[in-house]
Structures are given as C-alpha cells and as structure tokens.
Structure 1
Amino acid sequence: MRLNVFKNTVFPIIIGVVLIMISCGNGKPKKDKNKTDDNRPKTEELTSNNQHQTIIVGANQTESYLQLLMGKNIGVVANQTSVIFKQPTANNQTPNYTHLIDSLLALKVNIKKVFAPEHGFRGTADAGEIVKDGIDTKTGLPIVSLYGNNKKPTKTQLEDLEFVIFDIQDVGARFYTYISSLHYVMEACAEMEIPLIVFDRPNPNGHYIDGPILESVNKSFVGMHPIPVVHGMTIGEYAKMINGEKWLENGIQCELKVIPIKNYSHDLQYSLPIKPSPNLPNNQAINLYPSLCFFEGTNVNAGRGTDTQFQVFGSPFLNASKYNFKYTPESNEGAKYPKHENKLCYGKNLTETEYLNYLNLNWLIDAYKNTENKVEFFNNFFVKLAGTKILQEQIEKGLTETQIKATWQSGLKSFKKVRNKYLIYE
C-alpha cells in the first residue's frame, strides 16, 4: 500500500452516530503543583497564551481519520488509555469517555484484532508479567499480546490487515516500554507495507529532557534507541523520529500518519485521566517515575506493594538512623511479588515533593551512601535502565549529582538537535 493512500483516499460516509468530542486532561502552568488522589476521568480546560483552550487528543478527531478506515480491515494497538473523550452530563453521572474500540465499532469500522502491550489490554498485569493472547469478553475481538515472547507482530498476525492504529498513553521515559512496542509495530508494518496511524496524546513529562544517552551495547526492551532517559516528546513525535533516524531493522521506514493533538505544547502540565499502568496511580507517581525507576535496578523498593507506588522508596538495608520513614511492601494489584515483600523497609516519603522538571539523582546517590549492603546494591538490570555502565561507576566513586550531570551535557545537546527535526508542538 503506497503513501498516496493517506493523501488521496476519500470515501463518502453517512454516519448516524455523532460523537461529541472534547479532550480530557488539565493543562496548568508548570509552577502549579497538580496532584490527584484518585484516577477518576475528568474533563478540564487549560489556559495557554491567555486563551481559554481545550486539549483535543488525536483519537477524538474522527474527522481526520474515519475516511481512511471505512471499508478496510483494521488492527488496533490499544490498552485502557485508548479512549475517546465525551462531554460529561450534568452532575457527572455518566462516564466522560468511551473506549476507542467500542467507539470505532459503533461507527462501523471493521476492527479485526487488538494488539496489547505490557500490562495487557485492560492494563492490570504486573510489570514484567507475561501477557497472554485471548478474546475481549465485551467485543469478542481477538487480543494479540505484544509482551512476552511475541513483542513484534508476526506476518501471520498482520496479513489480513490494511491499516494499523497505535493509540497508547505514554509517560515520556525511555524505559517505559510502550515506545519499544511502537518500534516493533512500526517495523512489522513497514515489512508488510501496511500504513500505521498514530493517535497522539500529551506527554506528562514532556516539559524537560534529562539523563544519560543509551549506548547501543546496552540496547534492550527497556531502552532501544540512543536517547536520554527523559526525551521530551509525544509518542507521535517519537514515531517520526524512529522513522527519520532509520532505527528500524535495515533502515526501512514505516508509512506513517500522526493525528496530532490540538492546543498542546510541551511546557503544559498534563494530568492523565486514566492511570497508564498499575503502578503509576496518579500525577505525583508519573512525575517522579523517571527518577525513581532507577531503584528497580537496585535492592531498594520503589513503592511497589504499597498504595504510593513510585512516591516512596525504602529497603531493609538502608540505615534506619538516616531514614525515619518506614513501610512494609505487601502483595497487591500490579505487584503480586513486590521487592522485600512483608519486610520492614526504611526510606523516604516523596508524596509531597514539588513538581520536578529535572531527573533527580540525589535520592539514588544518598541511598547508595547509606546502604548496609553496597556490594549487592546494584543488580544487572541497573545498566539496562541507565543505558550505560558509567552511571553506576560514577555513583560508586562518590561523584555528586552535579558532577554526573556535567558528563551528560554533550550527549543531550546532540540529542536536542536531532529531536528538533521531529517536533510537532512548541
């Protein structure tokens, strides 16, 4: 299928269902701290450049893509965040969104199958838990797992499709695996000459860029590309970069169309209406995630097994005289077997930490300095998360955060030049 499909295909459509479309997600100036204690969907407006505007996500803009889909066999890469937002009714008595799959089926789009990333189609599987193929009980559609042994759609899984849609809410960190799934979906579509449409959504950590650049020798599913830990791009912009930098196998390129967000810019703070995975329950966790995820490569628990995931950290091996906060991880949703399960951990409570616009290394550095077990503090996963062996070596040598970050600047400068070529938003 050639690129002119996107430019010249026009189908007459008579649709008896009219979707009322506005976006969800509140944009606030970065100086405002915006924490939520729950994940109830809500429709809020933002002020940008002194104008009252509303963010409209790509999925909501049916007028931009329905003509391409009608009469075609469609595959959709989706999870619980793949929704079309609606105007809430009085007193907010009905949900203010419908799932993308349900909406497209109601519009007579011929969806053949759904592809599910890490955490599954409904977003309830643990991090790292194998997601199995299955059938969606509501729609009867086959669900194909893209996490486990089958991270890349096979030719057989794609052979009956004419378009693939990718619509998943990302959080802007290199080790959050949705962008790795995006890479493999793009690669599979390119090999089969199937066009891919990305419905763009805001990046809640899109307001800064920070971290070491991944070295190719440390490539893995938690880091596939030479980018910093926090890249400052939406998933639509990132798809353009994957294509433009020819990161797909053998330098092939995917036939790509991005449905951009309306009224969005990178410096707007965006509140996710639906948690993107089980252990990112609120805005605070999402904002702290790029900094605290490094603890996943150590013997320190990052809040898994509590109701403040990625908002606290602790370990039985941390010095109790240095850390007066304590908690005990227990098995729960999203963490069936948390690190240090049922053991008392000493650490730090970060639930009241101010909104970050940088990667915080001091928590990691201080934990290493104050652990009783330095030999086993780091594990093999840490290098994959960092994308380089150097960071661990720098911490072990006693370098400060300022000294470590100084060594990142050349790489970050080069990355920003590449990034600029693919930006859709200011």
Structure 2
Amino acid sequence: MKTTAKTILMIIFAALVLTGCAKKELPEIIPGAERTEAYLSLLEGKSVALAINNSSVICGMPILDTLISMGVNVVKIFSPEHGFRGGNQYDSLDVKTGIPVVDLYRSKSYKPQPEDLEGVDIMIFDMQDVGVRFYTYLSTMHYVMEACAENGKQLIVLDRPNPNDFYVDGPVLKDTAFHSFVGMHPIPIVHGLTFGEFANMINAEGWLKDGVKCNLKVVEVANYEHGKSFKMAVDPSPNLNTMQSIFLYPSLCLFEGTVISQGRGTMFPFQVLGNPELKDKYTFSFTPVSIEGMSKKPPHMDTECFGVDLREYDVNIFRESGRINLSWLIEFYNNYPGKDKFFRPYFDLLAGGDHLKKQIIEGKTEDEIRQSWEPELTQYKEMRKKYLLYKDF
C-alpha cells in the first residue's frame, strides 16, 4: 500500500507531538501507544473507535486528544469499569470532544453490540493492566476482541507493561461454574502476561465465543522485558493509587469476598486490612468513609476497623518469592470470631472455585493449599511461554 501525503503529514505531526516526550527525558520503556509510527498509517481514512480509559495516555496526554490532534477520525469511545475519564464517571458523550461514549461495564453484556460498531472501521484497545485474573479490564478486552471478530472489525491492541509480570501464581480457574466477569479464562490469579500477549493467547487458544478469531494487531512495548521495573504515569483505577497497592493487589483482592475491609473508603486502599470485630486482636485501626470518585459506599463505612497496616510492607518479597501471600487470608480467618460469616459468595468467583475457601475452613496449611494448585499451574506456565513477546523473567 502506498504511503499517501496525508499519512506522511500525520507521521510528521506525531513526531512533533512526541518530541515533548523526549524533552522530558523519555523513559527507556516506550508503551505501544507512544509508538504512533507503528499504527497511524492503519488509521488513515478510517472511522476509528477507541476502547480506553484514563490510563490511556501518550506522553501524559489522553490518547483521544492526541490522536484527534494528529488528524485521526475518532467516532466512538468504549469505556470499561470506572468510566472513560476515570473516577467512576459515566457519560454518554465525552464533554470535551462530543464523541459518543458506550459504557461497557454497566451494560448487560459488557460487550459492544453490532449497532455500537456501525460506522466503525477499526478499533483500538489501550488500557493499563495490573496482571491479575480478576482485574476487569482483561474481561473488557476479551469482549472487545469477540465483538470485533463477530463484526469484521480489525483490532489494534496498544501494549503496555504489566507491573506484576515478574511472577505467575495462584489457583487456576478450572470449573466453568465459576466463570464470571472477574474470571473468564483458565488461568491463575497472577498470569504474568501483558495485554498484547494475553490477546494473542485468547485468539490462539480459541477462548472467544464459538472459536471466532479476531483480526488482531499488537503494537509492542519498546525496550521492555518481563520483570523490568517501571512506574506508571497514571493510576490504572481509582483504588489502585500507588505502586504499593498495585503490588499488594494480587494478594489482597481476595479479601473483597470476605467481611474484611481492604481500605476502600480511605486514601490508602489495598494497603490495609481490618474489621470492626477484631478490636481485641489488633491495635492498628482505620475508618472507611465515603470518598467521591473512589468509594461512595465502602464496606464498614464510618465504622472503625482493626487490623494490619501494609503501607510499609516490603513488596520486593513478591518478586523474590514469586508467590502471592496466603498467610494474611489464613490469619484473618483464624482471628475472626464469626467464622461462618467470614466468607461471602463473591469469594469463590475471585478465587476461581470453592476449593480455596474449603481448604482454609478445614485448616489446611499454605503448603498443602499450594500443592493442590498442581499440575494446572505448571501446565499454564508452559502454555504461557508460547505467547511471550518479551524476554521472560
């Protein structure tokens, strides 16, 4: 295909825009979104839809605004959990540009419908992942891929680093009875892949409905390898607002299926654990309150919770051990007075089955629990190798 004058102008303009990155000492790691030379030509003369959120940035600027300034014809936006601009704001039109916004998270199917894709030639998916099975942006990508496959639309995934891609761990979701929006694939809790790698896995393993294949292009991250440390410029979601919370998240999110607060309703969510009934067990306390844009009605709102403070916890332990922390879950279950009320039904969806809950109730040790994850965990690790785009840890 010949390069048109318009394409050349778009690329030149992109280079000028990205010059601002260089002046700010562009990090060695370059996300796919910032590698505009790899995908701008594919957008020329096309009506483009974007599946994006507040983490979708080019050199700190929203990708929507940047692409429009480069002459890209963006006609529709698809938003995930927490909304397009972040902060749990859901609008049918983007206030700044007037472009229609389709709220996928609050729709009944989580998936773009055929009428949503009318007038769309090509789709871009660009969101920051944190590398765990129950993070819903992963499920959103699955449904976007499926909709594009069913409606004959090409999908470009602009890849980004995964902050938790230095290990693989947790029980594998095996029983389809526990499939949900927080667990759609037969993978462990910590999957160790970027979104680009995972999209290739979804396609090749036939996980889309009826085995359809998505016309997929992945724009890779430059100068990246698994396990390489980096710091995100934008929080991926309202309650993952520090790197500490992101590293703790694979271990602490399971508590969302229990009576234990993970700090929602504080400015340090996923960095503390506690419950009002544990006053006799712990001295540290915090009180969840309503915080607009983060947690409007957090568990145990306006009630003092007693537990542990993990804000200074050495998260390098996860990198060194290659394991999520199960000891906190076992400890809080053992310390909670009303054990028959400790677990909620949501726990089994997060854990990928009811085995982990039963094992903790039965008093199994962490080693015994981990042994039950095999051979599926090792089998997944072998399958994962087929889809690596970057040097592994």
| TM-score, normalised via structure 2 length | 0.93
Cα pair 1:153 1:184 within 8 Å, conserved: yes
User: C-alpha distance in 2, partners of 1:239/1:294?
Assistant: 25
* 1:404 correspondence with 2:375: no
4+ aligned runs moved over 3 Å, structure 1: 8-12, 21-24, 42-45
Query: What residue ranges of structure 2 are gaps of 5+ in the alignment?
Result: none
Q: What one-letter code is carried by the residue in structure 2 that aligns with 1:325?
A: F
Specify which of 345, 365, 378 is matched with residue 413 of structure 1.
378
Stretch of structure 1 that moved more, 180-189 or 396-405: 396-405
Structure with more of its chain in helix, by fraction: 2
In structure 1, what is the equivalent of residue 123 of structure 2? 164
Secondary structure, counterpart of 1:134 in structure 2: coil
Specify which of 215, 225, 246 is matched with residue 265 of structure 1.
225
What is the identity percentage for the equivalent residue pairs of Structure 1 and Structure 2? Answer: 48
Specify which of 283, 290, 295 is matched with residue 324 of structure 1.
283
User: C-alpha distance in 2, partners of 1:133/1:145?
Assistant: 8
User: C-alpha distance in 2, partners of 1:9/1:300?
Assistant: 60
* 1:288 correspondence with 2:282: no
Cα pair 2:284 2:309 within 8 Å, conserved: yes
User: C-alpha distance in 1, partners of 2:77/2:273?
Assistant: 36
User: C-alpha distance in 2, partners of 1:113/1:147?
Assistant: 16
User: C-alpha distance in 1, partners of 2:197/2:265?
Assistant: 34
Map Cα deviations across residues 318-364 of structure 1 (whole Å, 9 max, x no partner).
2x333221111111131110101111111000001112232101111
In structure 2, what is the equivalent of residue 99 of structure 1? 62
* 1:365 correspondence with 2:334: no
In structure 2, what is the equivalent of residue 91 of structure 1? none
User: C-alpha distance in 2, partners of 1:419/1:250?
Assistant: 22
Specify which of 194, 203, 227 is matched with residue 243 of structure 1.
203
Secondary structure, counterpart of 1:160 in structure 2: coil
RMSD: 1.6
- Counting matched residue pairs gives 377
Secondary structure, counterpart of 1:243 in structure 2: helix
Cα pair 1:132 1:144 within 8 Å, conserved: no
Stretch of structure 1 that moved more, 9-18 or 243-252: 9-18
* 1:138 correspondence with 2:96: yes
| TM-score, normalised via structure 1 length | 0.86
Map Cα deviations across residues 144-189 of structure 1 (whole Å, 9 max, x no partner).
1110224100001102111000000010010000010000000000
Q: What one-letter code is carried by the residue in structure 1 that aligns with 2:63?
A: L
In structure 2, what is the equivalent of residue 297 of structure 1? 257
In structure 2, what is the equivalent of residue 422 of structure 1? 387
* 1:120 correspondence with 2:87: no
Cα pair 2:288 2:299 within 8 Å, conserved: yes
Map Cα deviations across residues 224-274 of structure 1 (whole Å, 9 max, x no partner).
000000000000001000001000000011000000001111111221111
* Distance verdict in 2 for CA 1:205–1:44, change over 3 Å: farther
User: C-alpha distance in 1, partners of 2:146/2:253?
Assistant: 27
